[in-house]
Amino acid sequence: MITVTAKTSQQYSGDMCVYFVRQLDNKKTMPVSQDKEVQEIIKRAYDVGDFFARAGETVLHYPGPGTGAKPAKSARRILVVGLGKDDLDREVFRLAGGTASATALKKKAYEFMAVLPDELDFPAVEMAQGLAEGLILGAYQFVKYKTKFEPDEKPGEIKNIMLSTRHLSAVRKGVKTGSTEAFAGCRARDMANEPGNYWTPAQFAERGRELAAEYGFKCKVYGLAELKKMGMGGIIGVNQGSGKPPTMVVLEYRTGKKVPTLLLVGKGLTFDSGGISLKPGAGMQDMKYDMCGGAAVIAAMQAIGEISPARLDVVAIVPATENLPGHDALKPGDIITQYNGKTVEVVNTDAEGRLILADALSWGVKKYKPDAVVDLATLTGAVIVGLGHHRTGLMSNNDALAEKIMAAGEKSAEPLWRLPLGKEYAKQLESKVADLKNVGTQGAGTITAGAFLEEFVGETPWAHLDIAGTAWDFTEKSYVPKGPSGVGVRTIIELIRAWK
Ligand code: BES
Ligand code: ZN
Ligand code: ZN
């Protein structure tokens, strides 16, 4: 969708041409553009007090005779986007790219050129990566189930974005990196946006097989009979109330060399009604998003297929089922046996994510002996109480791994906040009748959920990302829409890129 060109805006006559300019200072000083034509537009907007190039500020101009822009070869619209005055980083360009795409969609400018501010003192690769991420993520929309539109309201798609620059090779490199991450993020959003009656455990299996065919991964899908035979008491138990069989999808990316293995596990709960411990009706429809951890892991594998990391093998596991109150559903008080033999008293059937993850984690750790495990799950409402919708909750038994993930989250503007673990929290999970109960005593709900998972990873360095607050309703930005955010995808990719 993005092409890089040495052509200048004077040689472009498409739907829109986008320029980016810096705010000069806190005072209301007129922003400066290298481009004379743009400078004239800025001056007009500035003179009426509309534009200081603050981050996210825009001017939309329609060039033509007498309006100051060259009419002959000019694009039909000129958009100037402010970059603000804060230190430049990838996020500044992500936001600016998002603003450009959002404006383009609104104006139905489906083909546009963005002129890179080559003159800024900032690495062209990073600038291009940030812009590509923002442009692609900001162009995301999900309208496949809408059949009726007001006349003239039918949304189109952004078809082609040209990036004009003098630094062709650096920008091409950045665009490739940014596009790969952003497309993966969009695919995670797609899976999440699908309704629960369409995106079922079988869909995870199908997507896994598609990716395997495309990128040469090894793919194995475990169905109901196999999961039973393997002793996956958590997945089977949670699935009992559902009319659809569970799946567990395993994808393996192998370098063929002797390198460390990273294991990714994602919660693929395709609908969480709570089961017999039924959730309240209001807002229950959002529980179709309870598979966002699984979606993030699968989408990240798509990017891994594109990137082919050289120093790391990656295995992805997505345990997938619905949690419904069918006639054979788990009941509060039931005791199940997880894959590793630990018994769990299910005191609340709505704490189901940890039950399916416990099986996948202990099975994955035993089978693959990974050097590190990262799980992503919309695990607790409590993480929203603690961190709101702005940060993912991070828990880990390993400081080095936790720091790597924090750094990857920072780079991708998917910030995390680490919460503690420890024996006090583990103690909250003691059961009178089994090895553990699935819900801890009152308090620290996010941490006790993490402490539950910790029982299933042994000594393996492990990190748990509770994305219940960020997988949807994430801090709204130009490139983060109201629905599912695709959070976690870019963090995983950054983590893998930075792996030493
Ligand atoms: N999928 C939910 C967690 C959730 C809640 C995600 C709200 C996003 C928004 C999870 O399975 C769940 O229901 N957890 C319970 C645990 C409780 C019973 C200990 C919760 O958070 O209420
Ligand atoms: Zn639940
Ligand atoms: Zn759930």
Tens digits of residue pLDDT in 283-298: 999 999 999 999 999 9
pLDDT value of residue 71:
46
* Catalytic-role residue among 22, 94, 288, 354: 354
Largest Cα–Cα distance in the chain? 84
Token pair of 249 as six digits: 């999808």
3-state class of 236 per DSSP? helix
| Ion ligand 3 — residues with CB < 5 Å | 269, 272, 290, 353
Q: How far is the CA of 464 from the centre of ligand 2 (A)?
A: 17
* Ligand 1: nearest atom to the Cα of 348: 18
* Residue 290 in contact with ligand 1 by CB distance below 6 A: yes
* Residue 322 in contact with ligand 1 by CB distance below 6 A: no
CA proximity to 145, closest of 194, 189, 214, 83 = 194
Give pLDDT tens digits for 130-164.
999 999 999 999 999 999 888 777 888 999 999 99
**In contact, 404 and 378? CB cutoff 8 Å:** no
CA proximity to 394, closest of 492, 270, 283 = 492
pLDDT value of residue 155:
83
Report residue 70's pLDDT band, with 50, 70 and 90 as the boundaries: low
CA distance 398 to 393: 15
Token pair of 313 as six digits: 């093998």
3-state class of 410 per DSSP? helix
Give pLDDT tens digits for 192-226.
999 999 999 999 999 999 999 999 999 999 999 99
Ligand nearest to the CA of 443: 1
Ligand nearest to the CA of 284: 1
Residue nearest to atom 22 of ligand 1 (CA): 381
Mean pLDDT, residues 355-371: 99
* Ligand 1: nearest atom to the Cα of 352: 11
* Ligand 1: nearest atom to the Cα of 274: 13
* Ligand 1: nearest atom to the Cα of 383: 21
Sequence-ordered list of residues with C-beta below 8 angstroms from that of 153, at least 6 positions apart, any chain: none
Report residue 400's pLDDT band, with 50, 70 and 90 as the boundaries: very high
CA proximity to 239, closest of 165, 329, 312, 117 = 329
Report residue 67's pLDDT band, with 50, 70 and 90 as the boundaries: low
CA distance 139 to 110: 10
3-state class of 446 per DSSP? helix
**In contact, 28 and 34? CB cutoff 8 Å:** no
CA distance 416 to 262: 20
* Catalytic-role residue among 173, 244, 279, 342: 279
CA distance 317 to 356: 11
CA distance 133 to 283: 31
Q: Give CA angle at 176 (305, 130), nearest 5°.
A: 120
Tracing tokens 């996956």 back to the chain, one arrives at: 232
First to last CA, the chain: 32
**In contact, 181 and 412? CB cutoff 8 Å:** yes
pLDDT, the chain, mean: 97
pLDDT value of residue 123:
98
What is the secondary structure of 176-201 as a DSSP string? HHHHHHHHHHHHHHHHHHS-TTTS-H
pLDDT value of residue 181:
98
- CA 80 to chain CA mean position, Å: 28
Tracing tokens 């329609």 back to the chain, one arrives at: 62
Mean pLDDT, residues 96-125: 97
Residue nearest to atom 5 of ligand 1 (CA): 381
Mean pLDDT, residues 303-315: 98
Using the predicted structure, report yes or no on whether residue 228 has a pLDDT greater than 90. yes
Active site residue 354: yes
Using the predicted structure, report yes or no on whether residue 386 has a pLDDT greater than 90. yes
Q: How far is the CA of 381 from the centre of ligand 3 (A)?
A: 9
pLDDT value of residue 154:
81
In the chain, the percentage of residues whose pLDDT exceeds 90 is 94
What's the half-sphere exposure (Cβ side, CA atoms, 13 Å) at 14?
A: 23
CA distance 81 to 257: 46
pLDDT value of residue 76:
94
CA distance 128 to 318: 33
* Residue 382 in contact with ligand 1 by CB distance below 6 A: yes
Rg (C-alpha) for the chain, rounded Å, is 24
Using the predicted structure, report yes or no on whether residue 3 has a pLDDT greater than 70. yes
Ligand nearest to the CA of 447: 1
CA distance 427 to 67: 72
| Ion ligand 2 — residues with CB < 5 Å | 272, 350, 352
Residue nearest to atom 16 of ligand 1 (CA): 351
pLDDT value of residue 149:
86
3-state class percentages of the chain: helix first, strand second, coil last, to nearest 5? 35, 20, 45
Give pLDDT tens digits for 163-172.
999 999 999 9
* Residue 133 in contact with ligand 1 by CB distance below 6 A: no
Q: How far is the CA of 379 from the centre of ligand 1 (A)?
A: 6
Mutate to test the pocket of ligand 1, among 350, 437, 439, 472 (most ligand atoms within 8 A of CB): 350
pLDDT value of residue 159:
95
Q: How far is the CA of 78 from the centre of ligand 1 (A)?
A: 47
Ligand nearest to the CA of 428: 1
**In contact, 32 and 48? CB cutoff 8 Å:** no
Give the alpha-carbon dihedral of 58, 60, 65, 67, to 10 degrees: -40
* Residue 445 in contact with ligand 1 by CB distance below 6 A: yes
Sequence-ordered list of residues with C-beta below 8 angstroms from that of 212, at least 6 positions apart, any chain: 218, 219, 251
